[in-house]
């Protein structure tokens, strides 16, 4: 049985392609940069990040997108030695196609598919080499009033220029559930199969399938739709949908999709947001697709990640909010340190100096050594968005823990020696129900500081439910990070440990 989650943490909207014996997978990143991570695997089990599609200025217009904007739902495909990623830069440049000869990069600047208004684009080619972009439509030209969903639409595109060669064609919009989206087209035998998500990306999420003899339809709905959904069940993985079909190394089939791990007896709070999961699929004798329920199977043991910031560049794990880490973070002349330069922005702002690492486990412990110098202000934080973040900060001999939730703020402070570094900590510990409800209902986030004499000071324990998908209403997930609000702040010995 493969591990689930397949890739833990804020890695939503997965798309996967098999090229020979190799697999490549990409995810949405929304307002975070670098954008669209690229993973590689040989077995559909163990994955290593090898790069980003979006790695430099100008590829996305993410500097001022609102929360939820940016890189939405990429699809990765391969043809004639070229890798393609088609994606929507929501509230930015629009629908884009990126290309590369090596999936590790560098990728092209991106060509705009001009005049197409939609999300979740897919890319497929017919036997004549004609390129079809199929997407979840927002086009008003489809006959729907402005602002109303137009279902699954399709155009043909010149991928070298981005020119649209046909008017949008309405394909098939599912079984009547809300938000038909995430379409993917596949040819198998004589049929083209259209796999979509419907029911919304919340608890009603599911996957449905139709088929036809031409990539533009008409399409016949499958007899078992939705073929996959966790809605109205008590399964520990909910919101399963947005799937991409792939052949397995042994010649079978699997669907890679997003899902969530909500906690509590009512499964109400999802700290990591939408993650990448996998399940087996198969073809029936009459040529329809079936899929198994998505089962929880966390990777065994304790996970550890540490970074002492050696070498000449930051690791691929690190991301920033609407700005590249290189704009505010640099490896210090002091060995094994990274320096963040604050510009006055805070975690309440759209573009903080925040160097982020995704939380991947419901139970985790994070620490970093911080030296703000005489005038710097910075610390360690966990963030969902501008309105939902917890942090522990050091400045001028004072450590301050802070909780910001939807405009409500609370702070706790202690004095520490101002001439030496401080180890700041975030611990995500279990919070359980009482009596007959012993289930993990959420987590508590413990904010602490440890001085050089080894004295640990716990400043606060705050409820983790406020930093969850359902409360913050963001499409991302928890991101833990180092930050600076003023001056130059030195960091070293970042350490993350986690378990499920």
The 10 Å Cβ neighbour count of residue 137 is 29
In the set 13, 198, 443, 463, the catalytic residue is 13
Distance CA 465, CA 459 (A): 19
Catalytic: 393?
A: no
Q: Tokens at residue 158, please?
A: 């010149």
Exposure string of 330-364, with b = 16+ CB inside 10 Å and e = fewer, is: bbbeeeebbbbbbeebbbeebbbbbbbbbbbbbeb
User: Among the options 31, 89, 139, 181, which is catalytic?
Assistant: 181
| C-alpha span between 176 and 411 (Å, rounded) | 48
Q: Which residues pair with 206 in a beta bridge?
A: 198, 229
What does DSSP assign to residue 141? G
C-alpha closest to that of 121 among 155, 91, 70 = 155
- Of 157, 42, 37, the residue nearest 107 (C-alpha): 37
Backbone angles phi, psi at 202, to 5 degrees: -95, -150
Read out DSSP for 284-338? -TTS-EEEPPP--BPPSS-EEEEE---SSS--TT-BEESS-GGGTEEE-SSTT-E
Residues near 5 by beta carbon (within 8 Å), at least 6 away in sequence: 259, 261, 275, 276, 277, 298
CA 439 to chain centroid: 27
Contact 52, 37 (CB under 8 A): yes
User: Is 443 marked active-site?
Assistant: no
- Residues belonging to the active site: 13, 181
């Amino acid at each position: 049985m493969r591990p689930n989650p397949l890739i833990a943490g804020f890695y939503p909207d997965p798309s996967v392609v098999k090229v020979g014996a190799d697999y490549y997978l990409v995810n949405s990143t929304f307002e975070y940069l670098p954008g669209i991570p690229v993973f590689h695997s040989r077995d559909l089990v163990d994955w290593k990040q090898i790069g980003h599609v979006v790695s430099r200025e100008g590829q996305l217009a993410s500097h001022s997108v609102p929360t939820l904007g940016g890189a939405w739902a990429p699809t990765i495909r391969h043809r004639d030695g070229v890798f393609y990623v088609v994606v929507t830069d929501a509230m930015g440049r629009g629908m884009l196609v990126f290309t590369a000869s090596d999936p590790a990069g560098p990728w092209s600047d991106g060509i705009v598919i001009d005049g197409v208004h939609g999300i979740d684009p897919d890319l497929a080619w017919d036997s004549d080499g004609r390129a079809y972009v199929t997407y979840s439509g927002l086009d008003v030209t489809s006959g729907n009033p402005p602002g109303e969903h137009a279902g699954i639409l399709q155009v043909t595109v010149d991928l070298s220029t981005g020119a649209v060669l046909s008017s949008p064609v309405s394909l098939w919009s599912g079984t009547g559930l809300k938000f038909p989206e995430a379409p993917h087209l596949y040819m198998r035998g004589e049929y083209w199969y259209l796999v979509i998500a419907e029911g919304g990306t919340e608890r009603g999420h599911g996957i449905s399938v139709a088929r036809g003899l031409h990539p533009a339809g008409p399409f016949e709905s499958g007899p078992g739709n939705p073929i996959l959904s966790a809605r109205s069940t008590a399964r520990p993985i909910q919101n399963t949908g947005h799937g991409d079909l792939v052949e397995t190394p042994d010649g079978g089939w699997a669907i890679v999709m997003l899902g969530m791990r909500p906690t509590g007896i009512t499964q109400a709070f999802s700290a990591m947001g939408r993650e990448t999961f996998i399940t087996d699929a198969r073809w029936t004798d009459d040529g329809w697709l079936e899929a198994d329920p998505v089962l929880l199977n966390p990777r065994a043991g304790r996970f550890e990640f540490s970074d002492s910031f050696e070498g000449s560049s930051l690791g691929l794990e690190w991301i920033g909010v609407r700005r590249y880490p290189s704009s505010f973070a640099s490896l210090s002349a002091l060995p094994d340190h990274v320096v963040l330069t604050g510009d006055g922005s805070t975690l309440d702002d759209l573009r903080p100096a925040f160097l982020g690492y995704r939380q991947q486990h419901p139970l985790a412990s994070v620490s970093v050594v911080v030296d703000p110098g005489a005038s710097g202000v910075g610390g360690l934080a966990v963030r969902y968005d501008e309105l939902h973040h917890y942090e522990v900060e050091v400045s001028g001999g004072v450590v301050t823990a802070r909780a910001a939730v939807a405009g409500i703020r609370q702070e706790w402070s202690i004095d520490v020696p101002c001439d030496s570094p401080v180890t700041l900590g975030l611990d995500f510990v279990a919070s359980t129900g009482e009596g007959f409800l012993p289930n993990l209902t959420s987590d508590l986030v413990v904010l602490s500081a440890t001085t050089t004499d080894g004295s640990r000071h716990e400043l606060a324990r705050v409820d983790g439910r406020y930093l969850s998908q359902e409360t913050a209403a963001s499409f991302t997930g928890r991101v833990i990070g180092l930050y600076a609000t003023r001056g130059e702040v030195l960091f070293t010995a970042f350490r993350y440990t986690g378990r499920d």
